[in-house]
Structure formats: C-alpha cells, structure tokens
Chains A and B, each alone.
Chain A
Amino acid sequence: MSRPNAPLPPTAWHTIGPFFPRSFYREGDNDLTRLSADAAPTARGEHIRLRGRVLEQGGGACVNAVLEAWQADASGRFRHPLDPGWRDADPDFLGWGRAWTDGEGAYSFRTVLPGGYQDAAGPRAPHVDIAVIGSGIMRRLVTTLFFPDFAEANATDPVLRAVPEPLRPLLVARPDGEVDGLRAFRFDLVLRGAPEAETPFFVD
C-alpha cells in the first residue's frame, strides 16, 4: 500500500446547535478520575475540583455549553501511545471528562492535580486542556487551565508563553476553597468580553 500524496481534507466543523441531547450527559461524566461511572476512582494524586462559569458577550451566562477536559495523570503521563511513558500511565485515571453548564453558566469537574512533563516544545507545567462547544460556536474553542501552585513552571510553559504576557493570568485558575474536602479551583471562561477579561483561546 502506498501512501497517498494528497491527504483527504478533514471534514468541516459545525456547531452542536441549541439541542444537544440532555440524555447524552450522565452523572459522573464530569469526573476525570474514573474510567467509567461504576469504576473506582484513581488512588494516585491529589483529587481536586475545578469549577467556574462560562460567560458570553455582555456577561450573560452561557447555558447548555459543553466543556470537555483532557489532562495528564498525577505523574504527567497519558495513556496514549504518543506518550513515550504511556505504559506507566495511571491505569485507573481516565483523564477525560465532559461537563454541561447549568442555567447560571456554571460547570464543574472532579479530577486530580496533573503532573507536568517534558515536551519537545519545552517543559509543560501542570495544566488541563479545556474545549468548549455550544450553540453558535461553529468550531470548538480550546484553551488551557494552569494552576497557581506552579508559578515557576508556568513561567516557562511553551503554551502559556504563546499568550501575550498581560493575558497570562487569565489562564491561571484561582484557589476557591474546598468542596467535599477537596481543594477547589475557579476558572471562568469569558467567550467574548472586554479585552482584559476575554479568555485567551488557541488555534485548534
């Protein structure tokens, strides 16, 4: 089999529209610590809660938005062959979750504090990639959440450094008390807003 010279063009994106089925969302989908709804949560790493609101132009709540999170395990590994250390990745940690914003635009995830890792592009600080899909969002909006605990690592992270310096604090979650005994972090996503408040999003 020969390799085609011209790859097939990727299919175009569209919005999910206003009617993404509610029954697609089940309790526990926003829990990254479990492989399935009835699996035991991973025992590795510090369990944490991420929460915030998704806001649209004018500061109104962005209701019925779907957020998808993806991150490394507590040791900075992914259970995926493109990670050279993937066989050592936490077998009980899914690393993926989906949350749905409520009437106030609020969402939450349960996960573990991710580990950093060395990438070809530079040393990655602990982070969580978050994608937003929703009505009117014709292509998913991708951004990255960083943690206030790692100021030094954040300063050299190659993705955070791709953000103009004055905007970088917008991608660092804030400590937000405790939920059920877990440290919570707040991360609001302003899809469109004043230049100093709008969340930086990346080319997908």
Chain B
Amino acid sequence: MEIRTVLIANRGEIARRIIRTCKAKGIRTIAVYSEADATMPFVREADTAVLIGPPPVAQSYLNMETILQAAKEHGADAIHPGYGLLSENGRFARRCAEEGMIFIGPRPEVMEDMGAKIRARSKMIEAGVPVVPGYNGNILDAEEACRVAAEIGYPVMLKASAGGGGIGMQICRDDEEVRKAFQSAKGRAKAYFGNDDMFIEKYIDNPHHIEVQIAGDEHGRIVHLFERECSIQRRHQKVIEESPSPFLDETTRGLICDAAVRAAQAVEYTGVGTVEFIMDGNKEFFFLEMNTRLQVEHPVTEAVTGLDLVELQLTIAEGKALPFTQEDITQQGHAMELRIYAEDPVTFMPSPGTISRYEQPEGEGIRIDDAVESGSVITPFYDPMIGKLIVSGNTRAEVIARAEDALAQYAIEGIKTNISMLSEVLGDEEFAAGIYTTQFVQQMKRMTNK
C-alpha cells in the first residue's frame, strides 16, 4: 500500500528528521504536540499539527488513543513512532493495525520478544548468536541472585528484563553488593517499566559497545548496514557514535555483522533495527539487545552508506522489496555523531531553561539534526538532547578536525550544554588514536579531577 500521509508520534529533532524525508518524497505529514511544545520548530514544519495534551508524556506523547484519534481525523495512513516513547510498544502497533493504519516498524510480536530481555536472550541462544554468559530465568530474590552469581563468577551485572537506558542495572562485585542492590533494582524496574523480572549476566570489564544496523523487508531479505561504535557514554547513555569502529579489524567486522543478520533472521525481522553487542578487549562479542526501531545515531550509518534510513523504513512499510542487496552496500569514509545535551558538562545534571541565543555550525561534511532555535524553552518534561552534530569525511582524522571546528562554532546561551565536554573528548590523545572503551568518560573525568 502506498503511504500518502504520515502521522509522527514523536517530537523534537526526530520529528523534524522524519518530516524532511517525507517532504522530499511528497508525503504529507501530521505532527502531534503537547502544550509544552507548541512553539517548537517541528510543529510548524509539519503540514498539519494537532495538540494532544498537557506536557507530561503520559498525558500526551504516550496517549495512544488521542494520537490514533488525531491520525484518523486527519487522514493518516501510517504512523511513524520515531525512537523512545511508543516506538517499541507492541500494543500501540496492534492498535494502529486495528484502526487500519500502518505502524512503521516491525511486527508487534517481534517488538515484544526483543523487548523482554530474558526472552530475547533465549531466542539468540537458539539462533547461535553469542550472548553474555549468565542466567536466563527470572531471578526471584537476593539469595537466588547470590547463588546464580556464584555460578557465573563475580563481577556480575544485575539487570531488569524490561529495562533500558541504564535503568534497573547494577554492577555487583560480591554477595553483599547483590543483597544491597537487588531489591532497589527490582523496585526501580517495577516503577519504570511496570515489570520487575530480573536476570544476571557476567559483567564484562572495560567493554566496547558496538552495534550493527540491519534492515529487513517483507520478502525475506535481511541485510546489515555495518557497525557503529558507541562506547563514548555517560550515565549508560551514548554521547558520541562513529562508523567505522576504530576497534574492529575486517575479520571481526565480518563476524559481528553476520551475527547481527542471524539475530534478525531468527525473528524474521522487518523494518530497520539495531543489534547491540558488548565486546571485550579480545574482540569477543556478545548480544546485548535488539532495538526494534530507528536509532538516535542512525545518521552515522546514513553518512557512510549514502542511504536514507527513514526512506528505507517507508519503503519497507509499503511492502516493497529492499532496493539493493548486501553486496551493493559499502561503508565509505568516516562519520561521527556528537549529541548536544542541555546539561552541565561536568556533573551531567540536566539544565532546563530558555535558549536565548542559538547559532549552529556550518561547513563541509557537517549535518545538523536539531530540535530548537533561539527562544526555544527546554522544559523538564523530556529528554535533554537538543540536537545532534553529524560530521563526515574521508578519514577519521579529518572527521575529528572538522568536528572540533564545528563545536567551536556553536553559540548556545541561556542553558548549559555539554559542548565543552565533547571538545574535551575530541582533544584527548587516546580518543584521537581510537583507543577507548565505555569507561572512557569516567576515566577522563578522574584524570581532570586530579
């Protein structure tokens, strides 16, 4: 079925990003927005904008029925959920189908299988995809957790099955730490995800976080679009992503991309998605989770492959075949994404407020996907990311030089941003040499504090 009108059930930079591709393809767009977002650029840029409720997400961007009502009233034939919010909600995908609309994403049962971490691990083991050594079942109490941890060997990572974004995750180095952490991690999982199933994995020291972009159509073809290195993180959230990964050699790249395709095949994946892996110092890698949606960092892949992933999502959602084979896709040059957050660059505490001045960089190889402009109000209700700087070039060194120049051009006043922290990372010798793990930001801070 041809898609003519898309409702975007999201906000900020990703709503603008989706609108851009829709416009280029002649597709009409409907934005939905909360009272807090009435003057944001994405609301103006859509062909139609519908107010769906007050600022808290539970009353606006997560309100399925109001969103579906807006979609019906304004003639949407498809709903793009972006990332976060309703993007991995199987119930919402089912409701879209019931209302005769296309949910742009995989089948609901695939989202649910991958969303439940314990179930996803089992699926991957069946498919021969390596998973972190650990215990598959739901662990009921701290004493059972201690027994399982003793079998796996400390340190271990205590995790919520329904978790994400670092919430409900705790490293434990001995029984005492497990006993201390178990109830609070379980409680947080219940509060945040409404599900407090817990499991335990071996904790991998100093790991890399490397993920592989995949795409599958309804005709059974699944391809990978190479990897993204996402090890620069703070608070378990990504700050800088790049492709190719400076840590991978050709052999490992081949292996991890193949594993990602196998993972996607195991669930007959349709749409674009990401298979996340954790990799140790010996380049041994393990499945972490699958994100059944567009990722924040998708532009890195677009920059090195020359593809438009939103366009690909629309093509797949229309039931068409992928317009290429694996052999057609190449990874050319280098690209990096730097996330601009409204937060203190040292404590990483959020910094809501009004942006009194907003000037963004320009230059060769610079792409900006952002949410704001001068005068925009950053409210406490949503994620602190206000934009993404995507830099591409022929080599990694060229990308770093361009990124440093671009960061220096930013002028953002009225709120705090992490731009100085990003510059500090780019200026680091080890980062420049491509030597870093997920511990990099913490280690850098420790050095600075000395």
Are the chains A and B members of one assembly?
A: no
